[in-house]
């Protein structure tokens, strides 16, 4: 199963390993569980638009739907990275970043700016 989430997060490195991923048959992302129907707005929006993920959306950069309205802006940065370089490059780049000591996702979120987060990931491309 594809571990790259609709929002751009990478489920392999999630702090919540009990969740099998938001593309699984039994997803329980901690963010999605905040909603009464347990459905993540980003997943719902992607499915309604027929998109593989938010990285395929022309409105991504300015989007504030669901997870993009939280402090976890690393998801927006990684989705923008995928939009520019593709999922395979994201996979290898994130692996390289973590192998080189980048504390994903915390060190990215701590930057507080999507552009800076994107630039940090691009350093390992």
Interface pattern 12-31 for ligand SF4 (x via CB under 6 A): ----------x------x-x
Residue that is written with structure tokens 């979120």 in the block? 109
- Comparing CB distances to ligand SF4, the nearer of 31 and 108 is 31
Is 60 a binding residue for ligand SF4 by CB under 6 A? The answer is yes
Residue that is written with structure tokens 């997060």 in the block? 9
Torsion over CA: 117, 94, 30, 1 (sign): positive
**Bridge partners, 10 (sequence order):** 4
Chain Cα centroid distance, residue 58? 16
- Comparing CB distances to ligand SF4, the nearer of 97 and 105 is 105
Interface pattern 64-83 for ligand SF4 (x via CB under 6 A): -xxx-------x--------
Burial of 94 (0-12, 13-18, 19+ CB in 10 A): buried
- Which residue ranges make up the site for ligand SF4 (CB under 6 A)? 5-7, 9, 22, 29, 31-32, 40, 42-43, 45-46, 49, 51, 54, 57, 59-60, 63, 65-67, 75
């Amino acid at each position: 199963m594809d571990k790259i989430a609709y929002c751009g997060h990478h489920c392999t490195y999630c702090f919540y390993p009990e969740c099998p991923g938001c593309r699984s048959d039994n997803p329980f992302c901690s963010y999605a569980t905040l909603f009464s129907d347990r459905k993540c707005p980003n997943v719902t929006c992607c499915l309604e638009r027929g998109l593989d993920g938010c990285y395929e959306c022309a409105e991504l950069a300015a989007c504030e739907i669901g997870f993009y309205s939280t402090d976890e802006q690393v998801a927006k940065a990684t989705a923008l990275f995928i939009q520019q370089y593709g999922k395979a490059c994201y996979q290898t780049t994130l692996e390289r970043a973590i192998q080189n000591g980048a504390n994903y996702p915390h060190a990215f979120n701590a930057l507080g700016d999507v552009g800076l987060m994107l630039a940090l990931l691009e350093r390992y491309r």
